[in-house]
Amino acid sequence: MSMYKLTPTFASDFEVHPKIACYRVASYHNPAAGAAEGSSGASQKAETDPRKALEQKQQDLITRLKSQTEQLNKLLVSLAPATAQKTCQKPAQTPKTTGKAPEAAGSAAPSGKLDKDAKKEARKAAKAEAVKKVGGAPAAAKGSKTSTPWTVEDDRKTWETNLTLTVNIPASLVVYPQEHLKNVTLTVKDSDLPWVRALAKVGEKRGVAFEGDVKNGAKEKKTVVKVVKGGAVAALQIEKTNVKSLQTIWKVLGMALGLFSRRAAQVLSASHQAIWLNKAEQILSGAGDLSYSTREASQFLARFDSLSSQWEVSVADIVFRSLLNTAENQPNNVETWAKKIDALIG
């Protein structure tokens, strides 16, 4: 006869209650534990029930913790007398009795209080000694008495300034020490005007005045850049030096605006900026492909917040952003990054 029977059709509320087998199968997860516990019915039942097995492990852990606590208490008690002798070197001074019973009874109370204080000090010293022997540091014991308040560490900066990168940080323009160039002349072509206008907006906030074909409203004129349109190639005239490399021009103007630094502490940022400024120069000269460079920027911005590998916006970000047309579809990373720069420079 079979243990249970199933009919061809069932009602919608029909419940199946199969019979429980008359024996249990031993757990195969931990066969060694079953052999150690024995072959009694209770142990076999505990092996097959994972909840009871977990409870048993918890009970074993509690038992071991109790045993360890008792050992530590015994150690403290054994160390207490020796430490008490070191701590209580001066015997308690008892007041001289004048022969009256009430005064003698009153003098017993202070001596008893001194004994209790001495015992407390002995326990503290014994506990500190025990912690030292077990392996704990004495500084940890002191720290447990006076807990320090919680502190929030500012970890926004990179390793260049002894801090690390994080995400979801408010965007900001990098602030490096500015170099004052006094009066310089910038000759540009029509294709260079977008990045010149973008740098002029930053210069208005940082005391770098742009005059000529591109102007800004800078009140404090630490550096004056006279923009002249119509040259065959872009050039920057600094006193008697004439610079015709776009990458060098961007770096020099970036140093005047505090957006680029040649210091050793910012070597990683400068190297990444040089890569993207070189790509921008190739695009403006017609040797580079803007679409391909934009896809490269999207991959790079998937790992970093800006093209300088930092979270702050630098001159490379502003120059490369000026080459993009946001009316066209851009990768998500590039579009988000471009909107961030537009909000920063206004």
Calculate the CA dihedral of residues 74, 78, 84, 87 and round it to 10 degrees.
Answer: -90
| DSSP states of 228-271 | EE--SS-EEEETTEEE--HHHHHHHHHHHHTS---SGGGHHHHH
| pLDDT given for residue 171 in this prediction | 79
Q: Tally Cβ neighbours within 10 Å of residue 176.
A: 21
| pLDDT given for residue 325 in this prediction | 87
Of the residues 97, 132, 167, the one at which a domain ends: 132
| pLDDT given for residue 104 in this prediction | 44
CA–CA separation, 138 and 40 (whole Å): 50
| pLDDT given for residue 102 in this prediction | 44
266 with 314, same domain: the answer is: yes
267 with 240, same domain: the answer is: no
Identify the burial level of 152 via C-beta atoms within 10 angstroms of its C-beta, where 0-12 means exposed, 13-18 middle and 19 or more buried. Answer: exposed
55 with 76, same domain: the answer is: yes
What are the helix and strand counts (H, E) for the chain? Answer: 11, 5
Pair 345, 201: CB distance under 8 Å? yes
Identify whether 201 is part of a domain: yes
CA–CA separation, 277 and 270 (whole Å): 10
Of the residues 258, 285, 320, the one at which a domain ends: 258
Alpha-carbon torsion 297, 301, 305, 309, what sign? negative
**Which single residue is written with the structure tokens 């021009």?**
249
Identify whether 32 is part of a domain: yes
| pLDDT given for residue 87 in this prediction | 52
| pLDDT given for residue 308 in this prediction | 87
| pLDDT given for residue 197 in this prediction | 93
30 with 128, same domain: the answer is: yes
Identify the burial level of 311 via C-beta atoms within 10 angstroms of its C-beta, where 0-12 means exposed, 13-18 middle and 19 or more buried. Answer: buried
> Which range of residues forms the domain containing residue 221?
179-258
The CATH number for 207's domain is 3.40.30
31 with 120, same domain: the answer is: yes
Pair 320, 280: CB distance under 8 Å? yes
CA distances in angstroms from 30 to 46, 230, 328, listed in the order given: 12, 85, 64
The total domain count for the chain is 3
253 with 291, same domain: the answer is: no
| pLDDT given for residue 304 in this prediction | 87
**CA triplet 108, 112, 118: central angle to 5 degrees?**
145
Of the residues 218, 239, 258, the one at which a domain ends: 258
Print pLDDT tens along the chain (346 aa): 566 666 677 677 777 777 766 666 666 666 565 555 544 444 444 456 778 888 888 899 999 999 999 988 888 888 876 555 555 555 555 544 444 444 444 444 455 566 777 777 777 777 776 666 555 444 444 444 455 665 555 444 454 544 455 555 677 899 999 998 889 999 999 899 999 999 999 999 999 999 999 989 888 888 999 999 887 889 999 988 899 899 999 999 999 999 999 888 888 899 999 999 999 999 998 998 999 999 999 999 998 888 988 888 999 999 999 999 878 888 999 999 999 999 998 7
Distance of CA 283 to the CA centre of its chain: 37
Pair 10, 31: CB distance under 8 Å? no
CA distances in angstroms from 194 to 84, 119, 197, 243, 315, listed in the order given: 82, 82, 5, 20, 13
| pLDDT given for residue 61 in this prediction | 92
343 with 318, same domain: the answer is: yes
Pair 274, 247: CB distance under 8 Å? yes
